[in-house]
Amino acid sequence: MKNIILLRFSNNFKKIMGNNKPDLNIFKIRVHYKIRIFIIAFFMAGLFSPAIVAQNAATVLSFGEEITAKCFFSSTIDEDNTAWFLTESGIVSFDGAKWILHNKNRKVATTGLKGVVYDFSSYGPELWLATPQGATVASLPVDARSGATTYYSDNSKIVSENVLAVAVGKKELRWFGTDKGISAFRSKKWLTNSYVRKYPEGMFQDYPITSMATSIDGDSLYVGTLGGGVLRVYRNDVDAVSGASARKKLEEVVIYK
Contact 7, 26 (CB under 8 A): yes
CB 76 within 8 A of CB 93: no
Greater pLDDT, 133 or 58? 133
Share of the chain above pLDDT 70, in %: 66
pLDDT value of residue 62: 59
Q: What are the residue ranges of CATH 2.130.10.10 in the chain?
A: 72-256
> Which CA distances in Å does 137 have to 113, 155, 169?
12, 14, 15
List phi, psi (to 5°) of 174: -115, 140
E-strand stretches of the chain: 72-77, 83-87, 90-94, 99-102, 115-121, 124-131, 134-139, 148-151, 163-169, 173-178, 181-186, 189-190, 192-193, 209-214, 220-225, 230-238, 247-256
pLDDT at 130: 97
What number is the average pLDDT over the span 209-215?
A: 92
Residue closest to 177 by CA, chosen among 221, 112, 228: 221
User: Tell me, what's the pLDDT at 47?
Assistant: 42
pTM over 0.85: no
For range 172-194, the mean pLDDT: 88
- Domain at 72-256, CATH homologous superfamily: YVTN repeat-like/Quinoprotein amine dehydrogenase (2.130.10.10)
